[in-house]
């Protein structure tokens, strides 16, 4: 559904993406990992219409979306859940969710969707009238995810959903991400710095470095720490001794 080919993005003299080429389908969870400054978040923000590509192709369902507005991208079925949740903490959970449906005019449908997602995530559904700032970090992250779902996306992009969360909460967020993909049929394209979390939740992992895709494949391939060091730090994996 999502595809970039030789995508370049520049911010003044900074060449953030240098020919990034990747694909993500509705039937999978794709996770971008890599060192800081590799261009991972830039990929998501460019797909979301927040950055304009200077070269290359960005397509959604085979249609060229390079340079389209964020509203056009949302209307095409792709929504970004930004890093850091960015909730309106003095507003209620319900009000935050309603803001996620800003492109919609079907008031009754919005109410039904809130009710359905409240069942899907009951720990948030029970707190609709509470200010979002009173929730735990994990609950706030779930509110941010539901807010993204309120635009009825086919593909949900997430920028570091595990950031700032305790390990037990990270595990729960991973379970919910897989449930969204497996049960709700929503494609997931996600950026993560927590490599262990990424390898545990992904169907396919993409490693970026210096604005380029340097690896795309099954997470099991990357369980070798030496291989990860090679991609993250440029270290050459040592060959095992013939007798070992």
Please answer whether residues 30 and 204 qualify as being in contact, where contact means their C-beta atoms are separated by less than 8 angstroms: yes
**pLDDT tens track for 91-102:** 999 999 999 999
What is the structure's pLDDT at 164?
84
Within a domain: 59: no
Pair 112, 225 in one domain: no
Tokens (6 digits) for 240: 């095992």
Q: Among the three residues 119, 135, 152, which one is the final residue of a domain in this structure? A: 152
What is the structure's pLDDT at 223?
79
* Residue pointed to by tokens 């369902």: 61
Pair 49, 160 in one domain: yes
User: In sequence order, which ranges of 70-166 are alpha helices (DSSP H)?
Assistant: 70-75, 93-99, 107-120, 122-125, 137-149
User: How many percent of the chain have pLDDT more than 90?
Assistant: 69
Burial (Cβ within 10 Å: 0-12, 13-18, ≥19) of residue 216: middle
Claim: this prediction has a pTM higher than 0.85: yes
Pair 137, 185 in one domain: no
Please answer whether residues 148 and 79 qualify as being in contact, where contact means their C-beta atoms are separated by less than 8 angstroms: yes
What is the structure's pLDDT at 234?
66
How far is it, in rounded angstroms, from Cα 189 to Cα 148?
A: 13
Within a domain: 43: yes
Q: Among the three residues 121, 152, 183, which one is the final residue of a domain in this structure? A: 152
**pLDDT tens track for 180-230:** 999 999 999 999 999 999 999 999 999 999 999 999 999 988 877 777 777
What is the structure's pLDDT at 236?
53
Higher pLDDT, 122 or 7: 7
How far is it, in rounded angstroms, from Cα 113 to Cα 40?
A: 31
Pair 42, 163 in one domain: yes
How far is it, in rounded angstroms, from Cα 142 to Cα 233?
A: 33
**pLDDT tens track for 121-170:** 888 888 899 999 999 888 899 999 999 999 999 999 999 999 888 898 89
Pair 135, 87 in one domain: yes
Q: What is the DSSP letter of 203?
A: S
Pair 72, 93 in one domain: no
Pair 202, 190 in one domain: yes
User: In sequence order, which ranges of 154-203 are alpha helices (DSSP H)?
Assistant: 167-182, 195-201
Q: How confident is the model at residue 85 (pLDDT cuts 50, 70, 90)?
A: confident
**Could you list the residue range(s) of the whole structural domain that residue 43 is in?**
23-53+67-77+153-244
Range 106-119 average pLDDT: 92
Within a domain: 112: yes
| Count of structural domains, the chain | 2
Nearest to 37 by CA among 162, 208, 189: 208
Element (H, E) at 217: strand 212-217
Q: What is the mean pLDDT of the chain?
A: 90
Pair 167, 133 in one domain: no
Tokens (6 digits) for 128: 């609709």
Range 27-38 average pLDDT: 94
What is the structure's pLDDT at 225?
77
What is the structure's pLDDT at 244?
38
Within a domain: 130: yes
Q: Is the pLDDT of residue 239 over 70?
A: no
Q: Among the three residues 108, 129, 152, which one is the final residue of a domain in this structure? A: 152
Pair 48, 160 in one domain: yes
Higher pLDDT, 234 or 112: 112
Within a domain: 3: no
Q: Is the pLDDT of residue 50 over 80?
A: yes
Pair 175, 72 in one domain: yes
CATH number, domain containing residue 205: 3.40.50.300
Within a domain: 99: yes
Pair 162, 72 in one domain: yes
Within a domain: 47: yes
Pair 161, 181 in one domain: yes
């Amino acid at each position: 559904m999502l595809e970039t080919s030789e995508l370049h993005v520049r911010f003044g003299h900074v060449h953030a993406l240098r020919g990034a080429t990747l694909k993500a389908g509705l039937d999978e969870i794709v996770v971008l990992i890599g060192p800081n400054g590799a261009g991972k978040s830039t990929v998501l923000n460019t797909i979301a219409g927040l950055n304009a590509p200077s070269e290359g192709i960005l397509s959604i369902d085979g249609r060229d979306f390079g340079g389209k507005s964020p509203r056009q991208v949302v209307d095409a079925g792709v929504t970004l859940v930004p890093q850091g949740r960015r909730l309106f903490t003095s507003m209620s959970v319900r009000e935050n969710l309603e803001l996620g449906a800003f492109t919609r005019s079907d008031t009754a449908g919005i109410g039904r969707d809130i009710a359905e997602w409240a069942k899907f995530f009951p720990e948030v559904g029970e707190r609709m009238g509470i200010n979002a700032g009173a929730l735990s970090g994990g609950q706030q992250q779930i509110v941010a995810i539901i807010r993204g779902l309120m635009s009825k996306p086919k593909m949900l992009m997430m920028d570091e959903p595990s950031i700032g969360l305790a390990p037990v909460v990270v595990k729960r967020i991973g379970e919910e991400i897989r449930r969204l993909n497996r049960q709700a049929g929503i494609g997931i394209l996600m950026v993560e710095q927590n490599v262990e979390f990424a390898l545990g939740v992904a169907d396919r992992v993409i490693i970026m470095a210096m604005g380029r895709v340097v690896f795309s494949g099954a997470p099991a391939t990357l369980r070798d720490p030496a291989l990860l060091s090679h991609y993250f730090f440029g270290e050459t994996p040592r060959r095992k001794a013939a007798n070992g």
